[in-house]
Structure 1
Amino acid sequence: MNRFVLAGTGSGVGKTTFTIGIMRTLMKRGLTVQGFKCGPDYIDPTYHTAVTKRPSRNIDSFMMSHDTVRAIVARASQDADAAIIEGVMGFYDGKSPLSNEGSAAHISAITKSPVILIVNAASMARSAAAIVKGFQLLDEHSNIVGVIANQLGSKSHFEIVKAAIEQECGIPVIGYLPKGAVPMMPSRHLGLVPAIERGDLDSYFDSLAEAIEETVDIEQLLEITKTQPLDVAESIFDAQPQKQEVHIAVAKDAAFNFYYEENLELLRTYGATLHYFSPLQNEEVPEKAQGLYIGGGFPEEFAKSLAKNEETKQSIRAAIMRGLPTLAECGGFMYLTEEIRNRQGQVFPMLGIIPGRVRMQDKLAALGYREITGVPGNFLINEEEQAKGHEFHYSTYEGEHTSPAYVSKGRFRAQQEGYLHKNIVAGYTHFHFASNPQLVENWLTACLEVNNGLFPTINEY
């Protein structure tokens, strides 16, 4: 089979453009393609899924063990002809500036995947070779087997760059894209999910494939990225001992769609049946639900609709009052507060379960990995348990309460975060259950206790 990492020298060099373009090209040749994304990104996997018609998977060497990374890749690609792993930031960029942890380089080593390095060679000639050479030398174990140049001025420019890199670095330059060869990528935020669902981006994907087929040697790409399937004996995704079935309601639509595929898979592995409902469509929480999961997304962009959809709001309030163990992450946390104030100063009433409000801002409020420790009374993660996740948001919470849900440790500090009250765990952090599957067991156990009358009905909201 073929498996390779598409890495870049930095952010913005065209990783996603080449990834989805190559995916589409291989699909047109009749190959089954499986996508992966290094790191905690939710947006790029949405593109992968739209092109390949298969759920793209996040793999992250900080948030999960090496064995789990390998298991995710092996399981998802076992019936695929090609597995394409899109890198994150620059090839060596990850959790720390002092190691490869969390980087595409680390993922390449863990999964034994060759690397195609994308270089923005605009206004360069021989200097492009110096860049590639530096990436080769920083880690002698880097398995960079080929280069693709981006933003070139002409075919003759490509020939110059190709000659320099191949002489100095000893690896082939298998193609390029000239400046302006492909249209600008559509919005990666507002409207992405509904646009994909309507098929509005299909023509864009086709235009990428056509451009890449014209100037990238796909046959050579397939030749230099042949590799062996990963052999994984057992993993955290193996079927667990039979447990009583648990029903989890999951809010999923254009406003709430940031869920790690492995989080959902682990819930199923441990006995959960997932029932999706759409707050944007004013749908109620499914009656049989014993637990509630409201993930991240873009509630601020759909705040007007969410504010007026009273049937959904009332059903969520009722579900929480019945004691359903509820996890609300980032956008879900925002939805549970009293109101969202957008960048234009408009205010939209939300569920009002969590005291306080959320204010959107233009400046990034938080970004980075988180190491999470629970607190007493948290049904998901107690004070002796740890998990990993990440934050990424452009809003701030304005309110006061004395019941944080967990302690969150970032690169610079550890602090109490989120909101905990009885059966609610909410906050900006996106948990990755693969970092500690015990969280899944904890949650489902709490759900069964509600079903058996052991978790008290709440009447305080």
Structure 2
Amino acid sequence: MPACPALFVSAPASGQGKTTITAGLARYHQRMGRRVRVFKTGPDFLDPMILARASGAPVLSLDLWMVGEAACRTLLAEAAAEADLILIEGVMGLYDGTPSSADLATTFGVPVVAVISAKAMAQTFGAVAFGLANYRPHVPFHGVFANRVGSPRHAQMLEEALPAGIQWTGYIASKDDIELPDRHLGLHQADEIADLDARLDRAADALAQTQLVELPQAVDFGPVVHTAVPRLLDGKHIAIARDAAFAFIYPANVQLLETLGARVTYFSPLADEPVPQSADALYLPGGYPELHAERLARNTCSADTIRAHAAAGKPLVAECGGMLYLLETLTDTSGKRTPMPGVLPGHATMQTRLASLGMQQLDGMHGTMTGHTFHYSHMTTTMTPYLTSVRPHSDARGEAVYRTGKIVATYMHSYWPSNPAFTAALFHGEAF
């Protein structure tokens, strides 16, 4: 049975510094020569980029709903068989969401450390820690860690405020050269932070002085159970746009395409690279086309070959930012409108407020595909939805899915391993 030391890094809310602490821990243990595997709870593209840089290994998603309990267990068991340490970063606060980080940690028996931002806080730190530790008694609570501490005396006050039975695992000070920069969709992408490795090393150095770097207890995740996947995309060449404008790609999605038999290659619209002529299908993932609109508009080679791919009747899957890029125009928050390739009819406008957020599912002829949505834009189009996603645990309608010929476009980010047959249909250009 694979067993491996494992720790779940959570918090009372978003913005407490979970990613900084998890990445610092991963970098510390990686520098010590340990094989570290990091997972991120829930749907997220940005945090995993940082965590992958810190650990030196791909970061996969864990979510009891989107990924599924059985698949989560398999991913953890596979990691345990090859790693010296497993770290799982939570999402939002420990008890937020259905299912929550607490549900995930409890299901697999992974001890939880709560990172609490102690800025402008003293004895209340103890009350917050007490609530996290005791809100649900069955959660395997390991201890608390203080982030953004003002001084050694401040740290002493925080530790003294802890009720008996709650373990103090240390603290780090508030430092601008450790904190990770963010913007409207979350943290900056790893490749955009010029001094990222230096920041990770400084975080690791700071954590080295704390109890948090002690290896946690080993967790037994059971045997590795593999489910055979038919090679439904055998021999297909799938080209994926990947650069700073199109980077929201689940590693598990790419792994699935390869398991289904596809050959995957990448090209960069930002570098004005052409879609490979040999590509049977094209995937335009989400990202930040709005931050690079002018450059994308100038890059006629990429745009022309994408138009040619679509005109040839080849399958094209576009998600969120990838869909916005295919429209006629994209308008930023200042009102500046930039022409886009016009493969699809419609216009998108960026907003300063969140337009949609949450888990989604698509129900089609191959069953259910899970995923999520997270965007700040609004789109107008003459296209008629082919399908509409729904939100789990409610009757609320989700995102429209548009199908024009063999082009499929939607705001929804799908988790393809949730339904390999559905995924294969998308890239064959078939009805789904």
Same fold (TM over 0.5): yes
1:263 shift after superposition: 0.9
CA distances 1:36-88 after superposition (whole Å, capped 9, x unpaired):
11010111001011112211111111212101111122224532211111111
Contact 1:270 1:440 in 2 (8 A): no
User: Is the contact between residue 405 and residue 427 of structure 1 (CA under 8 Å) also seen in structure 2?
Assistant: no
Q: 1:156 aligns with which of 149, 153, 156?
A: 153
Partner of 2:223: 232
Tell me the CA shift for residue 173 of structure 1. Answer: 0.4
Alignment partner of 1:59 is 2:62: yes
* Aligned counterpart for 1:200 among listed residues 175, 195, 203: 195
The aligned counterpart of 2:113 is: 116
Pair 1:407 & 2:388 matched: yes
- Pick one of 290, 293, 308 that aligns with 1:300: 290
3-state SS of paired residue (2:363): strand
CA offsets 1:223-260 (integer angstroms, 9 cap, x no match): xx221342234234x55468732111111111101011
Report the Cα offset of residue 335 of structure 1. Answer: 0.8
1:137 matches 2:134: yes
State percent identity of aligned pairs.
35
- Give how far 1:175 is off: 0.2
Q: 1:319 to 1:16 in 2, by over 3 A?
A: same
1:173–1:415 Cα change, 3 Å: closer
> Matched residues in 2 for 1:438 and 1:140: separation?
40
- Paired with 1:60 and 1:358, the residues of 2 have a C-alpha distance of 31
Paired residue type of 2:148? Q
Moved more, 143-152 or 125-134: 125-134
SS of the aligned residue for 2:66 comes to: coil
Residues 105 and 190 (structure 1 numbering): CA distance in 2 closer, same or farther, change over 3 Å? closer
Code of the aligned partner of 2:115: I
- Specify the SS of the correspondent of 1:63: helix
Q: Distance in 2 between matches of 1:23 and 1:415?
A: 36
Contact residue 69 and residue 111 of structure 1 kept, 8 A: no
Q: Which residue of 2 aligns with 1:419?
A: 402
Specify the alignment match of 1:91 in structure 2: 94
For residues 261-315 of structure 1, give each alpha carbon's deviation from its aligned partner in whole angstroms, at most 9, with x where no partner exists.
Answer: 1111111111111011111111111122111111000011111111111111111
Contact 2:20/2:179 (8 A) holds in 1: no
Matched, 1:390 2:381: no
Question: Which of 17, 20, 26 pairs up with 1:17?
Answer: 20
Q: Does structure 2 conserve the Cα–Cα contact (< 8 Å) formed by 1:191 and 1:254?
A: no
Q: 1:379 maps to which residue?
A: none
Give 1:316 shift. 0.9
Whether 2:85 is the aligned partner of 1:82: answer yes
Aligned-residue Cα RMSD (Å) equals: 2.3
**CA distance in structure 1 between the partners assigned to 2:23 and 2:187 by the alignment:** 19
Answer yes or no: is the 8 Å Cα contact 1:70–1:110 preserved in 2: no
Alignment-derived partner of residue 237 in structure 2: 247
Contact 2:180 2:187 in 1 (8 A): no
Partner of 2:5: 2
Q: Is the 8 A contact 1:371 1:408 kept in 2?
A: yes
Distance (whole Å) between structure 1 residues aligned to residue 187 and residue 114 of structure 2: 30
- 1:98 maps to what in 2? none
Written as runs of structure 1 = structure 2, the 5 A alignment for 1:303-342 is 303-342=293-332
Alignment check: 8 A CA contact 1:37 1:59 kept: yes
Post-superposition shift, 1:442?
2.2
1:40 to 43, 57, 72: 43
**CA distance, structure 1, for counterparts of residue 346 and residue 232 of structure 2:** 42
2: CA distance, partners of 1:206 / 1:313: 40
Structure 1 residues 207-228: Cα deviation after superposition (integer angstroms, max 9, x where no partner): 21222223x2245x31xx2213
Q: Aligned equivalents of 1:429 and 1:112: distance in 2? A: 31
In structure 2, stretches of 5+ residues that fail to align are none
CA contact (8 A) 1:257 1:295 kept: yes
Q: CA deviation at 1:7?
A: 0.5
Distance 1:4 1:407 in 2: 38
Does structure 2 retain, via aligned residues, the 8 Å contact 1:68–1:235? no
In 2: Cα distance, 1:87 partner to 1:146 partner? 15
Relative to structure 2, which stretch is displaced further, 404-413 or 356-365? 404-413
- Counterpart residue number, 1:259: 249
Structure 1's 293 and 77: CA in aligned 2 closer, same or farther, altered over 3 A?
A: farther
**Cα distance between partner residues in 1 of 2:319 and 2:233:** 26
Paired residue type of 2:34:
L
**In structure 1, how many angstroms separate the alpha carbons of the residues matched to 2:120 and 2:268?**
49
Unaligned runs of 5+ in 1: 96-100, 375-381, 450-454, 456-461
The 3 A distance-change label for structure 1 pair 334 and 27 is same
Conserved? CA contact 2:390–2:398, under 8 Å: yes
**In structure 2, do the counterparts of structure 1 residues 232 and 396 end up closer, same or farther at CA, with 3 Å as the change threshold?**
farther
Residue equivalent to 1:217: 211
Partners of 2:396 and 2:367 in 1: CA distance: 19
1:175 and 2:170 matched: yes
Contact 1:250–1:276, Cα closer than 8 Å, also in 2 = yes
The two structures have a TM-score, normalised by structure 1, of 0.86
Report the residue type matching 1:226 in the other structure: Q
Q: Is the 8 A contact 1:258 1:295 kept in 2?
A: yes
Q: Cα deviation per residue 1:105-151 (whole Å; 9 max; x = unaligned)?
A: 12212332111111233454443332222222222210011211123
Shift of 1:203: 1.4
